Structure 1
Amino acid sequence: MEGVAEGTQQHHLVLANKIFLLAHPDVQDKDKVALKSDILNYIKAHNMAPLNETLVASSVLHLDQNFLDSMRACNDGELTKLDEKISDAEQNLGESEIREAHLAKALYFITISDKVKALEQLKLTEDKTVAVGQKMELVFHTLQLGFFNMDFDLISKSIDKAKKLFEEGGDWERKNRLKVYEGLYCLSTRDFKKAASLFLDSISTFTTYELFPYETFIFYTTLTSIITLDRVSFKKKVVDAPEILTVIDKIPFLSEFLNSFYNCHYKDFLSAFVMTYSDTSGLTEQIKLDRYLNPHFRFYMREVRTMIYTQFLDSYKSVTTESMAKEFGLSVDFLDQELSSFVPAGKLDCKIDKVAGIVETNRSDVKNALYQSTIKQGDFLLNRIQKLSRVIDI
């Protein structure tokens, strides 16, 4: 595998995104021509015969038998050289050189995208590895392989393995990197709350450029935080965060999305985000064309809409659908349809009076509930103390 310069995304993950876009129905044909050319050129440059076979089997690419046979021959020749180096190291050199020879073979399997053999060779390399730091790097290679293939079982097991290794030791830099890897895993498996927490913990120590650029990291952090944090935390950790403020203007629509939400400018918020599923402008396009967020697009759309409707309705005991629709820049019919689907599903705590054209909120009295809970717990504690005092007196 090629070395990755500091601040550069891992080349295989760039390739994975291009493969994803090539198969995406919303990408225009003219763009797919360029994507296909880039993918084929990369495959040819690295003799990625296993990946070529996989893409042909999934109908992403067409079969070119001569092209495939040529790459297989190159793979066989390179693997023969690597096996000779392993044999020479085992006969003439020390444990460190033997490990490095096995690692080189594992990285070659990753380079040509042979997942099964790469995992086998990484295991062999691990068996010859003593240092915790070196074992952790093997786990990071495995995690990158998992994200390339979107193998969430492999990713989950590797994260657990890394955490166990850290119990034996490990430096802070690798621990911080692992948080971002786990955050991306949580994002990819729809655990947005945990993803936001992990991303926010890493925002001032981010060095995981091999996964994605810093702008992408801020994009993920903002999107997950906005639907999981309370208003006070969101202000402190996101709206006023200097790390976010330094790059947010480089990400299309994100600044408008963030600030219009916090400032309750709902029409501007929806303009930055876009409500309809068919429209691909605003942030919706970025989410749809994101390899990790795309499977959760509709879910995220619902969560965002629930969030802004809730924030708006929390300010009123009752409000007319006409004034609410005007605030959001929507038609009354569209808003009525939206609310009618969210209320029965338990997404919004309100009632709709269709005849009067009014939405009534059913806000619970949080302070009163907390007071009643405190009284109840106090009574329970007093009863326990009285029982205890009777036992002591006896």
Structure 2
Amino acid sequence: MEGEEGTQNAHLILARKLFLLTHPDVQDIEKVRLREEVFDAVKSDDMAPLYETLAADKIIEMDQSILDSMRAKIGDEIRKLDEKIADAEENLGESEVREAHLAKSLFYIRIGDKDKALEQLKVTESKTVAVGQKMDLVFYTLQIGFFYMDFDLISKSIDKAKNLFEEGGDWERKNRLKVYEGLYCMSTRNFDKAASLFLDSISTFTTYDLFPYDTFVFYTVLTSIISLDRVSLKQKVVDAPEILTVIGKIPCLSEFLNSLYDCQYKSFFSAFAGLTEQIKFDRYLHPHFRYYMREVRTVVYSQFLESYKSVTIDAMAKAFGVTIEFIDLELSRFISAGKLHCKIDKVAGVLETNRPDAKNALYQSTIKQGDFLLNRIQKLSRVIDL
């Protein structure tokens, strides 16, 4: 699972194909091609544990002779690796012993044996002294976590990496970790933190093992749009030279970003529709598809209404290139959910904004916190009286 610079990790490419293979909206003819590619990848790396799992889930067909061949090859390779470890421990130095254990760890990773890979990585870590080498082992663990979407493993590994950096650690590995953590935050619906971490890494990106730079820019723009205010979006994203160099290669993304900033709402909705397929078929964003669509619409509706004390529903519908009925239904949902600060005058066909100012919001927050504190004090006094 080791990714060279500029090359995406082969197992993460396989993970995406497996995701698409089980996606209900992928066409059957496309799934035939994906199934062949998955089978070829599994067979070439002798991924017997994954092969058995996929066959049990009816994703690919089981061929017992192929499975037996895989197991035989795995057994032979493990014997060779164990011999190298024994030889290194008996005749060579500590660094050679570590390298022999690392080779066994990478082999278990290659064949997709998660439990044995994690166990062997711990053994390798016990033979490792340098902080940088320990960090590399954490990155291997993170790649396993993202292959299986094991968020508990990913979270613990990120915390472990941060603790290691307190002992030292180079600049490049720290930047790599930011991208890994950003992907974890995005995958767990913490878009604000994901955007911040991605933007911090935009000019120092080297994490090609996770995804290509184009994909990184795609994630950065999507998370930034629902996380940053308009001024920050302009400074950090719209005018960012690193983003400008590649954004045109990603269908609809440039129009999506620029039409939002330029208040071209018809163009925005058109580009938004073009991006939905990319989001839906993205392995990390798919679970948050509906949530993201709501958040984007909240941002764009809020931006439109920010300019008005009141505006007709008809004018807003024309601005977005949709029907009055659609806007009426959309806004009703967002208003009832507390996402938009306005009210609909159905008789007059007018939207009236009622945004609370900063002082009023602070006052309301202070009242709530004060009530909460008084309740806690009353409960505490009853306990003390008892």
Is the 2:192–2:223 contact (alpha carbons within 8 Å) kept by the matching residues of 1? yes
In the alignment, the residues of structure 1 paired with residue 249 and residue 22 of structure 2 have an alpha-carbon distance, to the nearest angstrom, of: 27
- State the 1:88 CA deviation: 1.0
2:313 is matched with 321
What's the counterpart of residue 358 of structure 1? 350
**Residue aligning to 1:41:** 40
Q: What residue is the counterpart of 1:252 in the other structure?
A: 251
Larger mean Cα displacement after TM superposition, 61-70 or 348-357: 61-70
Q: 1:288 is matched with which residue?
A: 280
Report the AA paired with residue 196 of structure 2. S
Distance 2:344 2:232 in 1: 31
- 1:139-167 C-alpha deviation (Å, 9 max, x unpaired): 00000010000000000000000000000
Deviations 1:345-387 (A, max 9, x none): 10111101112211110022337878999xxxxxxxxxxxxxx
SS in 2 for 1:352: strand
> How many matched pairs?
365
* TM-score for both structures, normalised by structure 1: 0.90
3-state SS of 1:84 partner:
helix
The residue aligned with 2:339 is 347
Q: 1:174, 1:227 → 2: CA distance?
A: 28
| Partner residue, 1:92 | 91
Match of residue 54 from structure 1: 53
Residue matched to 2:177? 178
SS of 2:132's partner is helix
Shift of 1:4: 3.1
Kindly state the Cα deviation for residue 3 of structure 1 after the two structures are TM-superposed: 4.7
Measure, in 1, the Cα distance between the counterparts of 2:345 and 2:76: 75
Aligned residue number for residue 391 of structure 1: none
Aligned twin of 1:277? none
User: Residues of 1 paired with 2:256 and 2:284: CA distance?
Assistant: 20
User: Aligned residue for 1:122?
Assistant: 121
Letter in 2 for 1:283: L
- Cα displacement string for residues 123-152 of structure 1 (whole angstroms, at most 9, x for unaligned residues): 000000000000000000000010000000
Equivalent residues in 2 for 1:1-394, closer than 5 Å? 3-274=2-273, 282-366=274-358
- The DSSP-based 3-state class of the residue aligned with 1:54 is helix
- Structure 1 residue ranges, 4+ long, deviating more than 6 angstroms after superposition: 367-373
Deviates more, 1:252-261 or 1:314-323: 314-323
CA RMSD in angstroms, aligned pairs only: 1.6
- Separation in 2, partners of 1:370, 1:344: 22
Q: Which runs of 5+ in 1 are unaligned?
A: 275-281, 374-394
Q: Note the C-alpha offset of 1:57.
A: 2.5
Q: Name the residue aligned to 1:386.
A: none
1:383 equivalent in structure 2: none
Alignment partner of 2:343: what SS? strand
SS of residue paired to 1:359: strand
- Counterparts of 1:3 and 1:120, CA distance in 2: 18
Task: Judge conservation of contact 2:4–2:208 (CA < 8 Å) in 1.
Answer: no
Q: 1:369 to 1:59 in 2, by over 3 A?
A: closer
Cα 1:37/1:372, change in 2 over 3 Å = closer
CA shift digits 1:298-350 (9 cap, x unpaired): 00000001111100011111111111111101111111111111111101111
Stretches of structure 2 lacking an aligned partner (at least 5 in a row): 366-386
Q: Tell me how far apart the structure 2 counterparts of residues 11 and 115 of structure 1 sit (CA, whole Å).
A: 16
CA shift digits 1:186-209 (9 cap, x unpaired): 000000000000000001100000
The alignment partner of 2:336 has SS state of: coil
